[in-house]
Amino acid sequence: METIHWSVDINVEKQKGYPQISEAADCLRNGHVVAFPTETVYGLGADATSDQAVQGIFDAKGRPSDNPLIVHISDTDELSGLVAEVSSTASKLMETFWPGPLTIIFNKKSGVFSDLVTAGLETIGIRMPDHPVALELIRRSGKPLAAPSANTSGKPSPTAAAHVAGDLSGRIAGIVDGGETGVGLESTVIDCTVTPPMILRPGGVSAEDIAACIGEVTTDPSLKKEQSAPRSPGMKYTHYAPTAPLYLLEGETEWIQKTVHRLQQEGKKVGLLASRELAAEVNADVISVCGSRNNPAATARSLYHAIRSFNETDVDIILAESFDENGIGTAIMNRLEKAAGHKWIRQRSS
């Protein structure tokens, strides 16, 4: 399959009447799969009402069929035709965080979505992305778009069109290049069909911000382990992983350096995924800096790019610094734990 590439500057595109976005929207209406930018990561879009179109997502990604997909819309008015009801809690969240990196779980309206989207569940995750290219593409397609991250299943999510091309060229109809994404991590997923609402996946909107909006909110305890029936993307399987095995580190700087040396003495080429601060103090064969401890938002934006960079090296093992779990730090650590398959190397207390 030949993959079409559309390079879109939204202001130029608007002046010309959106010719490239319209062409990509035609592909979507005709049942094809198209990657497009959102404010979080690049999504792999298809008509959420079509079995054939949605199957194209699973085929391209190699994604397990029991992993539900998030649906993207361009206007809250579309919800009435998609969900059974919108609670007052969901309305508050939408007013505060939409468009933006928050996915809300609703009870679905029957007979609308492909069963492949919901993985057999009676609920559906929906969000409105905060990206002008994404919103215009959804509007012009005239369809709610199922859109997981546009990467091979299990690998780091793409934050640039080049990442998508590296994973999926020849496997999808097209890629809309709208530049690098802003948030860098997927949306937060919150289930508003339960009381109190429950966060199923941390992401671009923090639990603290959600609580400030609606009051009490809980976090699904299964986030720290694998579960048999995921209710949200990212709840099952190893995600976001580079080619080489990745381990999270917990210990002092001196111990981290000794750990690197020990592995090198065993004949391993060691990669280190680290903050700017740790990278200045520890030597390894390959170091990929993902930001600063003092700027977690910037770390989130750089995280997947930093993880992906190891795939261009010949490292045998990757050691990753752990970060404080405050605000978006919770989402950073969730992604790192998934990338590591919950594998840790911890300093023993003396």
147 is in an annotated binding site: yes
Do residues 66 and 121 lie in contact, with contact meaning Cβ atoms separated by under 8 Å? Answer: no
For residue 77, give the CATH number of its domain: 3.90.870.10
Which pLDDT does position 187 carry in this prediction? 98
Give Rg (Cα) of the chain: 20
Which pLDDT does position 65 carry in this prediction? 80
201 is in an annotated binding site: yes
Which pLDDT does position 228 carry in this prediction? 46
The CB density around residue 3, as the number of other CB atoms within 10 Å, is 17
127 is in an annotated binding site: yes
Residue 317 has which token pair? Answer: 């093992």
- pLDDT one-digit tens code per residue, 219-258: 999 886 655 455 556 555 567 889 999 999 999 999 999 9
Maximal CA-CA distance, the chain: 67
Cβ burial, residue 187 (10 Å; 0-12/13-18/19+): buried
Which pLDDT does position 294 carry in this prediction? 96
Query: Same domain, yes or no, for 185 and 118?
Result: yes
For residue 331, give the CATH number of its domain: 3.40.50.11030
107 is in an annotated binding site: no
Answer whether residue 238 is part of any domain. no
Q: Are strands 174-177 and 34-36 parallel, antiparallel or unpaired?
A: parallel
Which pLDDT does position 216 carry in this prediction? 97
Q: What's the rounded Cα separation, in Å, for the pair 253 and 127? A: 40
Q: What is the pTM of this model?
A: 0.94
Answer whether residue 235 is part of any domain. no
292 is in an annotated binding site: no
231 is in an annotated binding site: no
Using the 3D structure, point to which of 173, 192, 224 is the last residue of a domain. Answer: 224
Residue 262 has which token pair? Answer: 């020990």
Q: What is the mean pLDDT of the chain?
A: 95
Listing DSSP states for 195-249 in one string gives SS-EEEE--SS-HHHHHHHHS--EE-GGGGS--SS-SSTTSSS--S--SS-EEEE
294 is in an annotated binding site: no
Burial 195-225 (b: 16+ CB within 10 A, else e): eebbbbbbbbbbbeebeebbeebeebeebee
Chain centre distance of CA 312: 21
Query: Same domain, yes or no, for 160 and 272?
Result: no
Query: Same domain, yes or no, for 197 and 292?
Result: no
67 is in an annotated binding site: yes
Domain extent, residue 341, equals 246-346
Answer whether residue 236 is part of any domain. no
Query: Same domain, yes or no, for 93 and 203?
Result: yes
